[in-house]
A and B are shown apart, each in its own frame.
Chain A
Amino acid sequence: MNNRQREEYRLLLDGQLPWPQTKNLMSSYKDRDRFFKILEIYQDKVEWDEKILLPIGEHLFIVQKGKQRIVKCSCGHEFGDYRKNWKFQAVLRVRNTVEDLEGIYPHADVCDPSWMEIREFICPGCGTLLEVEACSPGYPITFDFCPDLEGFYSQWLNHPL
């Protein structure tokens, strides 16, 4: 990856890439090695050393830690084995009253809290809001994504994991 491309992708990740270049990225043929280029940029941005294997959220990564593959926040907080739902290791705020909901929705109509609640999954390390679920009370927590990491690396990337 040359410096120009590195800068372009860094700006893309930061939402700073000017629209004409962004549109060009959207409309052009996709670069085949984008994955590794983006990993390189993510790795430069975080302050820890574990190797990033896969981004799974705005702040969440699956990383290699010793023999384990775990979910880690950009702040360094660790959520455990990536095959288990990281949300169980987060902290949670539930908005299930009209007053609480209106905190996020001023001047707008909101759900009926007896039909639906908002669940905010927060990183215990940095207080970043990692995911929001909008679901009925009692609905099981959703496991958003469990990748086939081995298959991805060996069969799609042809690259050792």
Chain B
Amino acid sequence: MTEANSLNSVLRKRLEESETMLAETGCYDGITTLECRDMDPLKFETIHMKLRAGCVSAREIARRISASPGVREVGEMVAAIYTPEGDAVAISNGIMVHVHTMSRFIKWMIRNDYEHDPGINPGDIFANNDAFIGTVQVPDVMDVVPIFHEGELVGWAGAVCHELEAGGITPGGDVALAQERFGEGLFICAEKIGLNDRIRRDYVIRCERNLRMPIYWILDEQAKVAACFSMRDRVLELIDEIGVDFYKRISKEFIEEGRRTQLARVRQLTVPGTYRSNTFYGHVTKGKPGFQPLGDPDWLYSIPLKMDIELDGKIVVDFEGAQPWGYHSMNCTPAGMDGGMFVTLTQHMNFEGLVNDGAWLATQLKLPRGTWTNPDSEFCATATSWALLLPAYGAFQRMLSRGFLARGFLEEVFVGQVNSPMIEMGGISQYGKPFGIAHFECAAAGSGALAIKDGLDTAYVGWNPESDMGNIEIWELDMPMVYLGRSILPNSGGAGKYRGGNAFMSTWVINKSPEVRIVTSEHSSRVFDNAGMCGGYPAPTCQKHRVVRNSNIYQRVEQRRPLAHSTGLDQNDLEQFYQGNQQIIEGPHIAAPMKEGDIFTHSYNGGGGYGDPLERDPVLVLDDIIQGHSSQIHGERVHGIRFKGTIDDETLEIDFSQTQKTRKRLRTERLQDAVPVMEWYESEKDKVKQGDFSPEVLKMYRAAMDLSEEFAQEFRAFWQLENGFAYPQNEQVDLSNE
């Protein structure tokens, strides 16, 4: 056995010992007292701040090396420092989803005997984008380097970038059409991609030959490795300053402190008890080209969540009753589920103090085997797992927010994140070269409302707390499409006393290219995949794509005639302005390539509302109409506002007296139109027993009941169905793609 192997055998034993200590003492690595903190709290904080500064600085270095607008403009990156066992000590800002997914990657290598083969040595560089090892989806490629001090492994530095092109069956990073792992693109499975601080040339060649746009991936590798080296230097400088033994001790205390802080924060901000929520996602691909007949082209998932807040402050989130994994790209691994939980917690619980893996240790996810949250086949695809993750963790945010509300912290109540439909594309660029890219302006959806104000318009996504849509001009440099407009989508936030944040839509003309294949993902067109809270409504479903093939836009430009810059309030401006083959496409845009002169629109999601819409301040409604955030009809129908004057001649104002009367009348009408819940229940029971649902709904119930006896029992108990009740396997779900 070589000296290095001997050293690394100790590492695996150390990991097991650390886990045993956690189980036995309840404290990270058996750290029951925070000696370093108690000895000198100021020094404790200062040292952590130095490490965190090292991570933030490393991320900024990387952003300046990267060629990818996703990393440079939108900041799709995170950097972190880990213990030798792979637990995060300090992290940068950015896509904090990956702090714990990288932790899983490091631990996977340790558990899989990397100490013996391929060895863990100074100067090594390891990479991974396999979600079953530790990431969320194929484009999330992570690099880690070991940090050695005088021959001893003292930690790891790691960085993740979301790649804009992954070489899959469809162009871009979120490979929407992948129905199995084998269509998702280039996999790097915990691979040693570099030695002696250099990335291997054969690895670079593999990337060059398997990606549509290798410059993004390869320069991102250089960027991440530079970030890792920068963090490694910082750690070694710090060790020179404080001594290696003190560093090893304090880095573990940081994690234990993080664990304790998380528990304390839960006890401070919430109320113990059992919280429940659910959300849904509907997928529509029937008739679209490229679909493989492995699973249903159209399907519906229910996503039930139960959260227990225990008296010690531990959060336990249970996905019992979730749907089975399927032949689509929206499955998720436990690593991805961890990632969703972690990034959500950093926004709601760990926004100050020592943010690290300690928070993760204070929570528990129950992910039933065989569901999309924990597939029992590693062949399944996870390329667009955010489609389900975002609705799920939006529901988690609403449950947490119920706790904030109950505790009196109204300023923290948040209706939650929403889905962020992605555009991926590839073909021939405006420079006449092959290209592929993911368009990341999606990092700016509408947010859910707060309990005290409206949600953010076009400024929030759950997966990157520093949401940013990026500059139009930068995107235009990287794709053969010219923006005709980026516009607020009126009425796209959910209604409420405080409305959800509005979404935006973009409209492009394909320019200087004979072939652009555009594929979009993460659309839930048949069900709302978000929700409101306390009387607020879900945001509308994402507006369908409008396309004009063979448009006459260039003639209009030559004739200096006006252009449509969006679909307009009635969604028909493109038809009115342009001649050509007009198309309305529901769900993901999976279609034949487009070309110069074709027009394409893509819309994003708004957030859910909070509170009864009839309680919305009429002045806010008027302001929304004037600003183009909502329509007058919306104000009248949904908020019961009565107006005087008109918007066109700028005389629109509120008739307060009539508004008050109208709202009173609408409340009375509500009561007249409604029925007691128990009356409704009795009338529904037969329908449920008969399974009088659409085939997709019936299939959803049957799948959940087959997979989860607990869900089945709750369903039967709720509807008073006999023991053992199950829906027969005779519904006619059309599996063909006709």
Chain A residues at the B interface, C-beta cutoff of 8 Å: 12-13, 15, 17, 19, 22, 25-26, 30, 32, 34-35, 37-39, 54-59, 87-94, 103-112, 114-116, 118, 120-122, 124, 126-149, 151-152, 155-156
Looking at the assembled complex, report how far the CB atom of B534 sits from the nearest CB atom of chain A, in whole angstroms: 4
Contact across chains for A138 and B273 when beta carbons are under 8 A apart: no
**Is B331 an interface residue when CB atoms closer than 8 A count as contact?**
no
Contacts of B533 in A (CB 8 A): 131
Known: A106-B491, A122-B671. 7 other contacts (CB 8 A): A30-B409, A94-B680, A112-B282, A132-B532, A137-B687, A139-B278, A140-B715
Looking at the assembled complex, report how far the CB atom of A157 sits from the nearest CB atom of chain B, in whole angstroms: 10
Looking at the assembled complex, report how far the CB atom of A76 sits from the nearest CB atom of chain B, in whole angstroms: 15
**Is B535 an interface residue when CB atoms closer than 8 A count as contact?**
yes
Contact across chains for B693 and A15 when beta carbons are under 8 A apart: no
The complex places the Cα of A73 from the Cα of B696 at a distance, in Å, of: 37
The complex places the Cα of A156 from the Cα of B263 at a distance, in Å, of: 12
- Can you list 16 contacts pairing A with B, beta carbon distance less than 8 Å? A17-B452, A54-B271, A58-B535, A91-B677, A104-B495, A108-B491, A108-B540, A109-B542, A122-B674, A127-B667, A129-B613, A134-B280, A135-B280, A139-B302, A145-B399, A156-B267
Contact across chains for A112 and B526 when beta carbons are under 8 A apart: yes
**Is B15 an interface residue when CB atoms closer than 8 A count as contact?**
no
Nearest A-chain residue to B542, judged by Cβ = A109
Please count how many residues in chain B sit with their CB below 8 Å of the partner chain's CB atoms. 93
The complex places the Cα of A147 from the Cα of B275 at a distance, in Å, of: 8
Q: How many A-B residue pairs have CB under 8 A?
A: 243
The complex places the Cα of A41 from the Cα of B419 at a distance, in Å, of: 36
**Is B474 an interface residue when CB atoms closer than 8 A count as contact?**
no
**Selected contact of A34 from candidates B399, B409, B538, CB within 8 Å:** B409
**Is B386 an interface residue when CB atoms closer than 8 A count as contact?**
no
Interface of B is mostly: mixed
**Is B451 an interface residue when CB atoms closer than 8 A count as contact?**
yes
* Given known contacts A87-B677, A92-B680, A134-B280, A106 and B633 CB-to-CB distance under 8 angstroms: yes
Nearest B-chain residue to A112, judged by Cβ = B526
Looking at the assembled complex, report how far the CB atom of A145 sits from the nearest CB atom of chain B, in whole angstroms: 5
Nearest A-chain residue to B284, judged by Cβ = A112
* Given known contacts A55-B408, A93-B674, A131-B535, A104 and B684 CB-to-CB distance under 8 angstroms: no
Nearest B-chain residue to A32, judged by Cβ = B268
Contacts of A106 in B (CB 8 A): 491, 631, 633-634, 637-638
**Is B700 an interface residue when CB atoms closer than 8 A count as contact?**
yes
Interface positions, chain B 490-529, Cβ under 8 Å from A, are 490-492, 495, 497-498, 525-528
**Is B668 an interface residue when CB atoms closer than 8 A count as contact?**
yes
The complex places the Cα of A38 from the Cα of B273 at a distance, in Å, of: 20
Contacts of A147 in B (CB 8 A): 271-273, 406
Looking at the assembled complex, report how far the CB atom of B129 sits from the nearest CB atom of chain A, in whole angstroms: 34
- Determine which residue in B276, B638, B701 has the highest number of CB atoms from chain A within 10 A of its CB, and name it: B276
Contact across chains for A115 and B526 when beta carbons are under 8 A apart: yes
Contacts of B302 in A (CB 8 A): 135-136, 139
Contact across chains for B634 and A107 when beta carbons are under 8 A apart: yes
Interface of A is mostly: mixed
**Selected contact of A140 from candidates B402, B570, B714, CB within 8 Å:** B714
Contact across chains for A105 and B271 when beta carbons are under 8 A apart: no
**Selected contact of B406 from candidates A15, A54, A90, CB within 8 Å:** A54
**Is B339 an interface residue when CB atoms closer than 8 A count as contact?**
no
The complex places the Cα of A53 from the Cα of B700 at a distance, in Å, of: 39
The complex places the Cα of A138 from the Cα of B273 at a distance, in Å, of: 26
The complex places the Cα of A148 from the Cα of B343 at a distance, in Å, of: 27
The complex places the Cα of A122 from the Cα of B399 at a distance, in Å, of: 20
Contact across chains for B676 and A92 when beta carbons are under 8 A apart: yes
Contacts of B542 in A (CB 8 A): 109
Looking at the assembled complex, report how far the CB atom of A72 sits from the nearest CB atom of chain B, in whole angstroms: 15
The complex places the Cα of A151 from the Cα of B267 at a distance, in Å, of: 11
Looking at the assembled complex, report how far the CB atom of B215 sits from the nearest CB atom of chain A, in whole angstroms: 37
Contact with A along B611-629 (1 / 0, CB 8 A): 1111101000000000000
Contacts of A91 in B (CB 8 A): 671, 674-677
Looking at the assembled complex, report how far the CB atom of A44 sits from the nearest CB atom of chain B, in whole angstroms: 14
**Selected contact of B498 from candidates A15, A88, A141, A144, CB within 8 Å:** A15
Contacts of A38 in B (CB 8 A): 408, 410
The complex places the Cα of A37 from the Cα of B408 at a distance, in Å, of: 8
**Is B531 an interface residue when CB atoms closer than 8 A count as contact?**
yes
Contact across chains for B537 and A104 when beta carbons are under 8 A apart: yes
